[in-house]
């Protein structure tokens, strides 16, 4: 099925819409001060810096382009908490709002968006499955059309929408 530019953009927005990330770190206290003092240097040597969660890294305003549109369209993407807003700055009647969750334990990582509002009634309440990557200050998201339960198999997969944005 060939998607129109509008459909592809809707898909991208839907995918960007929804993210939940669980990050947890825990340590157990030692029962004695002596054991605690003896173990501290080992813990410090072995301790690694806690990795920043992707949810934390995604927060804020992003600006960039839709990858497969000809000509490319400028777009913006805003993430606040677990909500997202996508705007096609070239085609102003193309936008999406929603919630999202992340699956950081997959390769590639997954962005699961639930569309809450957009100009296309058939997508409201639908889930869009996407994959994402963060390389430096560049975020790339490739998504399937809302309602399609499949996860894109690659960033250049056919019949998907893709955005590439940079943090403002």
- Which domains does the chain possess? 5-22+52-167 (2.40.128.50)
- pLDDT computed for residue 46 by the predictor: 52
Dig out the tokens for 117 from the structure: 């509002």
Q: Quote the pTM value.
A: 0.71
pLDDT in tens, 40-70: 444 444 556 567 789 999 999 999 999 988 8
CA atoms within 13 A on the CB side of 57: 17
Please check whether residue 11 is in contact with residue 160, taking contact to mean a CB–CB distance below 8 angstroms.
yes
Residue 37: predicted pLDDT: 45
Mean pLDDT of the region 26-53: 50
3 state SS of 145: coil
Asked if residue 88 lies in contact with residue 97, where contact means CB atoms within 8 angstroms, the answer is: no
Joined together, the tokens standing for residue 72 give 């490319």
How confident is the model at residue 160, as a pLDDT?
96
Mean pLDDT, all residues of the chain: 80
């Amino acid at each position: 099925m060939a998607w129109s530019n509008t459909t592809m953009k809707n898909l991208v927005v839907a995918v960007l819409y929804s993210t939940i990330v669980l990050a947890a770190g825990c340590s157990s206290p030692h029962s004695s001060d002596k054991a605690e003092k003896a173990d501290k240097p080992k813990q410090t040597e072995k301790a690694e810096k806690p990795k920043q969660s992707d949810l934390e890294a995604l927060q804020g305003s992003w600006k960039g382009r839709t990858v497969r549109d000809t000509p490319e369209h400028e777009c913006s993407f805003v993430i606040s908490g677990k909500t997202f807003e996508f705007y096609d700055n070239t085609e102003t009647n193309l936008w999406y709002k929603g919630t999202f969750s992340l699956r950081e334990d997959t390769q590639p990582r997954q962005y699961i968006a639930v569309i809450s509002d957009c100009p296309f009634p058939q997508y409201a309440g639908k889930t869009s499955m996407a994959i994402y990557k963060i390389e430096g200050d560049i975020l790339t998201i490739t998504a399937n059309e809302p309602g399609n339960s499949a996860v894109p198999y690659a960033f250049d997969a056919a019949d998907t929408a893709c955005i590439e944005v940079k943090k403002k």
